[in-house]
Chains A and B, each alone.
Chain A
Amino acid sequence: MSGSRTDPRPMLRLETRMVRKARVLAAKSGAPVVKMAKRHTTISVERAVLRLAGLEGADVDGIPWVNRLVDAVREQTGLEHGVALPVWDALLATGEDLHTLAQKAASGSVTFRIPTGASAVKASEASIASVAKGFARIDANRASRDRSIAKYGNPATPWIYLIVATGDIHEDIPQAQAAARAGADVIAVIRSTGQSLLDYVPEGETREGYAGTYATQANFALMRAALDETSKELGRYVRLTNYASGLCMPEIAVLAGLERLDMMLNDSMYGILFRDINPVRTFIDQRFSRQIHARAGIIINTGEDNYLTTADAVEAAHTVTVSQLLNEYFAKEAGLEDWQLGLGHAFEIDPEVPDSFRLELAHAMLARALFPDAPLKWMPPTKHMTGDIFRGYLLNGFFNLAGALTGQGIVLVGMMTEAVATPWLSDRDLALENVRYVFKAAGKLHQDFHAASDGFIATRARHVLAESVALLERIADDTLLEAIAQGTFGLMKRPADSGRGRDGVFLKAPGYVNPANAFLEKGASR
């Protein structure tokens, strides 16, 4: 990603010592959280295991069979040993398939037990053989994506990222195809408001959502097939994005792998801060979902841009950097590589602030300098977009210019009607025209543009890095969970023992089995 770009590190004159220190502190802050995540499982991680083993569908009330089966197991044996041992023990005993077992378990006619000794070994082996099918599909999807990219080539960066959000998958499809034809490299289907708080993944094709479309396996498959068609027509691979966040993060990650989505929004702290999901639950779910994304070759997009919609973009600039470093640590620990880290940041400084554009450049260059091999996801202004669409169009032009100048990998295209309405067809077209003009006119400006190393921009970048290191020192001392509880990020205070989904967290018992670990943990076979 950074190949043709001017390396901003020398011009910002970031001290290598400081950069290294920041990473060491991020690792020190993150390590206890990883340790905690490894010792626990969640109800959604266990449901994800069943999804990997191919359990699909829902009962007449629309409750997925994975929920029914995991709930039945939880009631009888608890989830401390994982769902795999009792479920595959029962499958081996009855000779039934997962679907039938789930139906029977839901009606209360199955007795589960935690097998021991040879039975446990057999159940564990059988569960690994079952989820192997899911991983085979995920691997095949990754290979298929690689083939498409080999055939068509990757688009030049920055990739243009556009959103559709009609609520109806069958309306989304033509809009997504039109956006791709108009130049989008990446299509994101926004989820229905509130889906992140559902403790199940809705089933089937959906035509009704609130300000977005439900993320379902069927909707994923429909959109991917449609974009494959469009990719063929256009001779370039159009990527598809959705959201691995909320209470069902691990399951959505699995569905994304199974249906060949290409990017997933997956932030280490977003659900905690902005959806009041229990911090412990989030970190456990997040680790598993990132392991799946790593395996599936999916690029994650982190959500630091959101902090700046609540906190001040100048005062809180360093919290973005700190979060990027934490997201990087957690991502790499879970097996993701640099090219998969779409670390987020945003153009959210109040336009009334003097030198706002220079400050934006400083922040964008700092991110580029700290993560030279990560694509970086650059988010357009939202907080200071008013109903004045003309001013908004200008602001978006400056946002695009900053993106071009600082070598951002993924640029979410800003709409001048932000804060007015969901984008109209013409809004999207005008926004793309804005992007095209700026990139055509100034796309190579970075070749000439050098921030003076003792100038305003470089000084500001160094200052933000210093603030980041200071904050990381505090976090490393106090622990990350404590920092989150104190409102360090996005001004939200989220204590570790509160928030949604806490009752779905389980301390693993000795002998806990998760068959997916055979494919996900370090040293796993590929």
Chain B
Amino acid sequence: MTGDAGTVIRPYGDTSDDGMVQVSFTLPLAHDKRAEGAALLLAKKMGMEPAMVVHAKAIGPEFTFFIVYGSVQHVVNTDEVVVVERGYPLLSSKEVNAAIKKGLRRPMVVVGACIGTDAHTVGIDAILNIKGFAGEKGLEYYSEIVAVNLGAQVSVPDLVAHAIGTGADAVLVSQVVSQRDAHLHNAREMSAAFREAFPDHTRPLLVLGGPRFDETMSAQLGVDRIFGRGTTPGDVASYLVHALVTAAGTSGESR
């Protein structure tokens, strides 16, 4: 450890620096002495020493479940902690609604679609439909968001027309199919069409989503933001509030 170290911490069981943690896991072994030994060995390799198997139970003939207590030898220097910044706060649906109400003073209109020949609406549905994703309700559920899901195989001109017709604040485009880089071509075509159809300061926010996109490519593709695999409706809603309400409001700039 170097001299100018910050706070060095260890887990707290019931005494300072005792390092106590509990873990549970399943091993693909029948429950016997050897399996318990394997659990202890694994705990040791995780830095738990001494460790104690406090519970071992067979789950069928081929698996054993363990609960292990032990003292971890690892320490953490709080100065070494790196936090990945999202760049905007994650808001609850209540907070999103409140922010829109206060900042926009009207519902936020979000239009979503799968463009090109892509028929995979999984992504856009997960974000927009009330059913949602990962336990989070989709944008449809938010009282201050008007979510218009155009579904699959929407042409770019149609999407632009709908964005104009609904007065969209944001357009979400999902692309799952990536054969021959179709997702990249489609994204570029889409952003170009919006640039053409809208004067700079009135263009809706363009958000791209899909499992094959690189989140850092937004500038190259001419969109405002890209979301990758595992994105939840809450992530998107929080971003929309950040980009359309918070940032627009505080900086005084229009997007």
Contact = CB atoms under 8 A, between A and B. Distances in A.
Is chain B a partner of chain A in the same complex?
yes
Contacts of B213: none
Contact of A194 (B125, B134, B137): B125
7 contacts: A193-B125, A274-B129, A274-B131, A276-B129, A310-B141, A426-B26, A426-B65
A500 B65 CA distance: 46
Given A194-B121, A310-B141, A424-B26, A182 B59 contact: yes
Nearest to A276: B129
A210 interface: yes
B222 interface: no
A429 B65 contact: yes
Contact of A310 (B57, B134, B137, B149): B137
Interface in A218-248: none
A497 to B, nearest CB: 16
B122 A193 contact: yes
B26 A425 contact: yes
Interface string B116-138: 00001110011001110111010
B173 to A, nearest CB: 17
A500 B135 contact: no
Given A194-B122, A429-B59, A382 B135 contact: yes
A181 interface: yes
Given A425-B59, A426-B65, 11 more contacts: A181-B60, A193-B126, A193-B133, A194-B122, A194-B125, A273-B130, A274-B130, A418-B135, A429-B57, A491-B141, A492-B130
Nearest to A432: B59
Contacts of A276: 129, 149
A276 B147 CA distance: 12
A430 B135 CA distance: 21
Given A276-B129, A382-B135, A426-B26, A178 B151 contact: no
A178 B60 contact: yes
A140 interface: no
Interface string B65-98: 1000000000000000000000000000000000
Nearest to A309: B137
Interface in A152-204: 178, 181-182, 193-194, 197
Given A194-B125, A274-B129, A425 B63 contact: yes
B137 A500 contact: no
A418 B137 CA distance: 15
B135 to A, nearest CB: 4
Interface in B125-168: 125-126, 129-131, 133-135, 137, 140-141, 149, 151
B24 interface: yes
Interface residues of B, number: 24
Contacts of A273: 130
Interface hub of A194, A275, A382, A385 (most chain B Cβ within 10 A): A194
Given A310-B137, A425-B59, A490 B130 contact: yes
Contacts of A490: 130
A63 B120 CA distance: 15
A419 interface: yes
A203 to B, nearest CB: 16
Contacts of B24: 426
A193 B129 CA distance: 12
Contacts of A310: 130, 137, 141
Contacts of B25: 426
Interface in A410-433: 418-419, 424-426, 429-430
B229 to A, nearest CB: 11
A181 B131 CA distance: 32
Nearest to B66: A426
Nearest to A194: B122
A197 B129 CA distance: 12
Contacts of A275: 129, 131
Given A426-B24, A500-B151, A197 B125 contact: yes
B79 to A, nearest CB: 27
Interface string B187-226: 0000000000000000000000000000000000000000
Nearest to B143: A491
Interface hub of A210, A430, A490 (most chain B Cβ within 10 A): A210
